[in-house]
Amino acid sequence: MNWDEVSGKWNQLQGAVKERWGKLTNDDLTVIAGKRDVLVGKIQERYGITKEAAEQQVSGWKMPSARVEEIKRKAS
């Protein structure tokens, strides 16, 4: 999934993001609203890491394929 797809399916993806970055709050997820740069900033803030480290985590994040298929099924 690219970030255009993530942004368009943000409501369905919030659970997967929360599973990966459990320190993010529901309010954080609302503010992020599928925006990659905001996600990076919130990860940096909540985990006390550098922007570069947060960027690496987001770039390396692979959502489980079963979750991707589930989201695609619901969207069609």
Q: Tell me the per-residue pLDDT of 48-65, one tens digit each, with 9 for 90 and over.
A: 999 999 999 999 887 655
Is residue 25 predicted with pLDDT exceeding 80?
Answer: yes
Q: Residue 17: pLDDT above 80?
A: yes
Domain coordinates in residue numbering, the chain: 3-75
Handedness of CA 3, 5, 73, 11 (dihedral sign): positive
Determine the topology of domain 3-75 in CATH.
Protein Yjbj; Chain: A; (1.10.1470)
- CB-based contacts of 3, cutoff 8 Å, min separation 6: 34, 36
Please tell me the pTM assigned to this model: 0.80
